[in-house]
Chains A and B, each alone.
Chain A
Amino acid sequence: MKEKGLATVKVIAICLSVVAMILAGAAFYSHRTYKEPVVASEYVTQVKKLSDYFPDLKGTVNDCNIYIFEGSEPGGTVLLIGGTHPEEPGANLTAELIVENLRVKKGKVIVAIRANRSASTVTRPGDAYPQFYHIETPWGVKKFRMGDRWSNPLDSWPDPEVYVHYPSRQMLAYMDIRNFNRTWPGRKNGTITEKTNYAFMQLIEKEKVDLFIDLHEAELEYPVISTIVSHQRGVDIAAMTSMILSSTEFNIGMEYSPKELHGLSHREVGDHSRAISLLYEAPEPFLDRVRGITDERLLLTGKDPFVMKAGEFGLLYENIDENGWPIDVRVGRHASTFLTTLEMWSEFHPDLPIVIEGIPRYNDVIANGVGYYFKDPSAAPENRVFYE
């Protein structure tokens, strides 16, 4: 090619490269900095920051909001967290539904919507994850950040060759040093993920939390699905919750937290604090490796012919049909499981009751859609609007 022709190609290629950089950079930046408005229920008592319990987190990406609801009568204290794995939207949507609608009559309820905020600022472009998803509400469309399973490498880098869990010294996969549900109970001087776990342990200690609940979703190829995983101190509550829900609303199992598998909330929170720890799993076909087109539609409808085909061959641990697993069903499951768990807690601990109202059950969420329960931030008083 002649000199002039070559120079022209180079200039055009550089210009296209710069345009691609700007477009990609803008998309990554807008996702990382997008703020989700939350209209806290009028009955919220106070909204703290996680750094109020561990000042090292102040000003970091993981200094999330802590919503506290106190009843007029004393009782027990429950901490519920969503957003452990932000690629599981049923978890943070349920936590937000609770924050926007809750009224506590007895006891105290503490909620974190985005427990590991860092992981909600990154997705998996290589897996074709959407950056955002949208929920229809009576006042318009509400936009949410889709996230990943692991904290953003921009916030925690490099990963070790092998992740040695603290304090058990169990060896785990290298990237799980950024997995918020493999780093419990956390470490004061660890990575940002470990520090976030540590901050939550401080919160549990300072707020005298009795019951801890961690919301999740799972692929249908994974055996721990549609279940409550319980620390051994919580099996009576988990088993009763499972039996009642399975006979009245939907099938849900109950499993013991393995004693030798470390870093998970259902194991470490129960072992290292006074709180009983439970973890809920709902089905999310979006996470299945055999899935087809990976997009927002699959995330929200849970409909996928390839996952269905896997089910026909008996390769799944949960049923799936042409109705899929819509987000309303998954949020409804978590909402009803939470309500029934609190009812069981209050029966087993009459001296420490936790009585709440305002939260819809499974059938209500399916009938109305989860968006029905989200308030319009533009119509809400400024002092009740918070950002995640």
Chain B
Amino acid sequence: MFLNAVVTFLYYVLSAFIAFIILRNIIKTKSAQEAVLYCIMIIPFVLRVLRLK
């Protein structure tokens, strides 16, 4: 069970990291289409980090 807790914690860290990378890409991209796509992609990661889904 301790290992489960560690994996769960790392999972949330990973989700937050990916959300951060997507946010960074939204800011950096020069393509409007990519920006919209990133905005859709970020939703599940934020909901996951906030423990809503």
Contacts and interface: CB of A to CB of B under 8 A. Distances in A.
Given A25-B52, A157-B8, A189 B35 contact: no
Contacts of B11: 157-158
A13 B35 contact: yes
Interface string B28-53: 00111001100110110011001111
Given A1-B32, A10-B26, A29-B52, A158 B4 contact: yes
Contacts of A21: 43, 46-47
Interface string A1-32: 10001100110011011001100110011001
Nearest to B12: A157
A24 B46 CA distance: 11
A190 interface: yes
A158 B6 CA distance: 10
Interface in A183-226: 189-191
Contact of A9 (B1, B27, B32, B51): B32
Given A17-B42, A28-B52, A157-B7, 7 more contacts: A10-B26, A13-B39, A16-B39, A157-B8, A158-B4, A190-B1, A191-B1
B34 to A, nearest CB: 10
Contacts of A128: none
B39 to A, nearest CB: 4
Interface of A (DSSP majority class): helix
Interface residues of A, number: 22
B52 A6 contact: no
Contact of B43 (A24, A154, A158): A24
Nearest to B35: A10
Nearest to B30: A6
A14 B52 contact: no
* Closest 4 A/B residue pairs (Cβ): A17-B39, A13-B39, A9-B32, A25-B52
Interface string A330-351: 0000000000000000000000
B43 to A, nearest CB: 5
Contact of B36 (A9, A25, A28, A157): A9
B39 A158 contact: no
A6 B39 contact: no
B1 to A, nearest CB: 6
Interface string B3-17: 010011001000000
B51 A154 contact: yes
B43 A189 contact: no
Nearest to A3: B30
